[in-house]
Amino acid sequence: MLPGPDAFGPGIRPDRPYESEPDRWPVLDRWCDWRSAPLPRDVLATRTRTFRVPGGPGRAEARLTATVTVHPDALDSAWEIARSMEEVMRCPDQQLREGRRLTSLFTSVLDYGEQAGDWAQDAFSETGQYHDATGGPYPYTWSQGRYGPVTVAVAALGARGVPREALAPYVAQGQARMLHRAQLALGRAGSGRERAEYAPGRDGA
């Protein structure tokens, strides 16, 4: 389900490190700092890949991340979406690793289970500002969708000279392709049927 660079468009290349550790995932602590922790019992597998968006005249390279998480059932994936929303309300400013941080986060939620049927059952996005060693603020956007027990998320971290509207297509296209792959893996593409079973090995996320 995880995309490669070609899923986002021409010129996208892997960043370093390219993939996260398969047996750990990020947790937002009480001080609004992100840290790495072992997988909880309600997560069967998760994996994140990072990419670089090519720069150009007046533009530095931006970053993309893509994450797939597989839960035992659809209820657990719904709770992941709920926790993501709660985290933004609790921590509108968040500290990332390596001196990076997010500020002024704002959320929007769409319940696709009621409104748009087969595309996703829930979708949640956040926007804000991104800061790193080169300065900032730069535009930041993140979007998460759920289909059955699987959640997918794509984040875009801006850079000097990169407008917010230049990042949105990467997020939308990457998330749509990941959700489609989740539907295919679950045997649901085009069927609209509900099945909550999907438990691959950790390398199958």
Query: What pTM was estimated for this model as a whole?
Result: 0.85
Q: Which two tokens stand for residue 33?
A: 């700092």
pLDDT of residue 189: 47
157: which strand partners? 63, 140
Of the candidates 101, 27, 48, 42, which has an alpha carbon nearest to the alpha carbon of residue 75? 42
Using CA atoms, how far apart are residues 106 and 134, in angstroms rounded to an integer?
23
pLDDT at position 2, please? 84
Measured distance CA(59)–CA(36) in Å, rounded: 31
| 155, 80, 147, 38: CA torsion to nearest 10 | 80
pLDDT at 121: 65
What separation in angstroms does the CA of 4 have from each of 96, 151, 171? 24, 17, 14
pLDDT tens by residue, the chain, 205 residues? 788 998 888 899 999 989 999 899 999 999 999 999 999 999 999 999 999 999 999 999 999 999 999 999 999 999 999 999 899 999 999 999 878 999 999 987 654 444 344 555 678 899 999 999 999 999 999 999 998 999 999 999 999 999 999 999 999 899 989 998 888 888 764 433 333 333 333 333 4
Residue 99 burial by Cβ neighbours in a 10 Å radius (0-12, 13-18, 19+) = exposed
Strands (DSSP E) contained in the chain are 13-19, 24-28, 34-38, 45-53, 62-70, 94-95, 101-110, 122-132, 135-147, 150-157
